[in-house]
Chain A
Amino acid sequence: MGKEKKYTPAEKIKYFPRRGTTRREFILTMTTAGTAFALAPKIGYAARQRGIPVFENVKLHLNINGAARNISIDPRVTLLDLLRENFSMHGTKKGCDHGQCGACTVLVNDRRVNACLILAATCENAEVTSIEGLAQGDKLHPMQEAFIKHDAFQCGYCTPGQICSAVGLVKEGHAKTDADIQELMSGNICRCGAYRNILAAVKEVQQNA
């Protein structure tokens, strides 16, 4: 019988895989993780000094459609992507992604904005309302009702943005004429060309408001 081979800890893990974790390994892992966590900002700083990209997440607290949300996100995430990718609210649409088409329009603190040009990290403590947040249970928002009644869409892709924008327009209260409504809806493009019916829907809600 030969001498028993001595294995390093790394070799042991490699050659003798085991289910479960020993107490020692658990403590070692936690200590390493704890140290890494404590060092992370310094490592990030060092990496930044060398020009190496690092991803430091940002903590964000906000309210989306009435629900408080706490999340840690990559600072590059836009409000549009936060809604769609992090919270699976796909009602808000990505059109041009450059603030030109209005498909991503949502209300932030009751004001209509282009979610594609907002870094979500800048929405700390904000109240966000997307198309999913307009209805009260099964009761549609009057603007949603009016869009259906006036057939204010065809393919429907721009519609969530059109409706959020129209809700914002009525709240702002600056549109007095048809021309005003058209001008103040100019940030929302409809390639199906449902503009006349959109105007009719917005006008009706505005008159009833």
Chain B
Amino acid sequence: MQPFSFSRVHNNREAINAITKENDAKFIGGGTNLVDLIKLGIENPKHIIDINALSLKQIENLPNGGVRIGALVRNSDLAYDETIRQRYPVLSQALLSGASPQLRNMATVGGNLLQRTRCPYFYDAVFPCNKRQPGSGCSAINGYNRSNAILGTSDHCIATHPSDMCVALTALDAIIHVQGVNGERAINITDFHLLPGQTPHIENILEKGDLITAVELPAMPFAQRSFYLKIRDRSSYEFALSSVAVALDVNGGTIGQARIALGGVGTKPWRNKEAEQALTGAAANRATYLSAADIAVKNARGYKYNNFKIELAKRTLVRALETTGGM
């Protein structure tokens, strides 16, 4: 590992001051992704700021019917929280489908939002990668791109966003709370992650000095009927080839409201509001689900080894809708 200095902070203000003062500094929470990438020389922070002592570990019910989740809540604590299991089961299921129990005991909600891609070329420093080294080129576009994205890609990057949690949060319309140098702000999760475009190394809208403090789930009573379906090469401890988070409001065979987000196929957690509109007011049956699935992947672009994902994403969505809404 490259050498770095280390400090501990004890409140939000101290954390923000510390990261603003240093060049190339990183916060560390669970460290499951960051330490791995430092070992590989892909992340090279000069300074690490331990934020584990901050008071960001609560899961609170809000007066407006929503839930506020502290950024340092561990993935396992969130997944097994009774409120989350009953009111937002899709989030619990998504978390439990990711990583291993040990990693979930370590990984934080805030860190999960900032997870880096698992594109094999990002991980292997021998190859050019625009995310790792801007301007060096993308090895995946003409390489072995079976795990790569089919939605939201650019000529500079086709890396898949790896998080399961973020797919559920996207379907649940989550709000990311951030505290920074100029105060606090709230960001909808669909605006939080950025498409690669010409700058794939810039993955989210956070600025220097920003600290993620919480994730808020708005009230969504129909999310009690929600589901996460993950398709992968082995049945456990593996990233998604395709995944779907669904929340459906079905009354007497008709869909009231619908939320769908796709994972494993996009350069960011993928929400398609047009597909949701196709479900709204329609009969809860296979024909409806198939037409929504066609819309969801309408703009998908397959590459040499991942073309199968277009059909796989459709089938994943249809099966998730059938499971949630009935046929």
- Chain B positions within 8 Å of A186 at CB level: 100-101, 236-237
Contact of B101 with A48 in the complex, beta carbons under 8 Å = no
A31-64 to B contact mask, C-beta < 8 Å, 1/0: 0000000000000100010000111101000000
Chain A's closest residue to B35 (CB) is A117
Number of interface residues of B (CB under 8 A): 29
Contact of B35 with A78 in the complex, beta carbons under 8 Å = yes
- Chain B positions within 8 Å of A124 at CB level: 8, 50, 53
Chain A's closest residue to B99 (CB) is A187
Bound: A99/B2 CA distance, A: 19
In this assembly, does B86 line the interface, its C-beta being within 8 Å of a C-beta of chain A?
no
- Taking CB atoms and an 8 Å cut-off, the chain B residues in 1-20 that contact chain A are 1-6, 8
A165-B4 in contact given A97-B39, A113-B106, A183-B236 (Cβ < 8 Å): no
Contact of A54 with B236 in the complex, beta carbons under 8 Å = no
A121-B50 in contact given A54-B3, A76-B3, A186-B237 (Cβ < 8 Å): yes
A53-B2 in contact given A99-B36, A117-B36, A172-B101 (Cβ < 8 Å): yes
Identify 18 new A-B residue pairs, CB closer than 8 A, beyond the known A111-B105, A112-B101, A114-B102. A53-B2, A54-B3, A54-B5, A55-B3, A56-B5, A76-B3, A98-B39, A102-B100, A102-B102, A113-B102, A117-B35, A117-B103, A121-B6, A124-B53, A184-B101, A186-B101, A186-B236, A187-B100
Pick the 7 closest A-B CB pairs, nearest first: A187-B100, A75-B6, A53-B3, A186-B236, A76-B1, A186-B237, A111-B105
Chain A interface residues (CB < 8 Å from chain B): 44, 48, 53-56, 58, 74-76, 78, 97-99, 102, 105, 111-114, 117-119, 121-122, 124, 165, 168-169, 172, 174, 182-184, 186-188
